[in-house]
Amino acid sequence: VEIQIQNNPFVKCTPTTKVYNLVEMSESFVRLRVRSKASDVPYCDTFFVDEEMICAMPQGCTGSSMLRVTMSVIFVKSTLMKSIINSNATKEAKAMWAAYSQWVPKNGHGFKEKKKESKLNHGVE
């Protein structure tokens, strides 16, 4: 996979190795682990990005599911650029998932915000 790098005068795109691991799978639950390792970018040998994706369908629900994505930067070597790498990787991951959340409705799928129930505990409404 080639990842495009924005706002960098030295590197425009970089080859990236992504390893997908299927951790758990059932009829209503899928859990993936993705490790992304870039090359040809400064300090690329010091870290990789670890993402976990969980897609679950709640019980009694047939027409929708929930997607949860978490990511973290894992450092394998010591570097003084740790905070810069961490903040840039986090910023780019948020931008990518924000773009994905806009892409989904454009292609005929939908997101629904889960709203908290506002019932009072004492029973008087």
Q: What is the pLDDT of residue 99?
A: 86
Q: Is residue 86 part of a domain?
A: no
Q: What is the mean pLDDT of residues 36-59?
A: 85
Contact 38, 18 (CB under 8 A): no
What is the residue range of 14's domain?
2-77
pLDDT at residue 118 tops 70: no
What span, in angstroms and rounded, lies between the C-alpha atoms of 108 and 125?
A: 38
User: Is the dihedral angle over the CA atoms 72, 78, 79, 83 positive or is it negative?
Assistant: positive
Q: Is residue 73 part of a domain?
A: yes
What span, in angstroms and rounded, lies between the C-alpha atoms of 61 and 37?
A: 37
Q: What is the pLDDT of residue 125?
A: 45
Total domains in the chain come to 1
Residue of 108 and 48 predicted with greater confidence: 48
Each residue's pLDDT tens digit, 65-84: 888 889 999 998 888 888 98
Q: What is the pLDDT of residue 90?
A: 87
Q: Is residue 42 part of a domain?
A: yes
Query: pLDDT-based confidence at 115, cuts 50/70/90?
Result: low
Each residue's pLDDT tens digit, 3-34: 555 665 555 666 788 899 999 999 889 999 99
Q: Is residue 56 part of a domain?
A: yes
CB atoms within 10 A of CB 73: 17
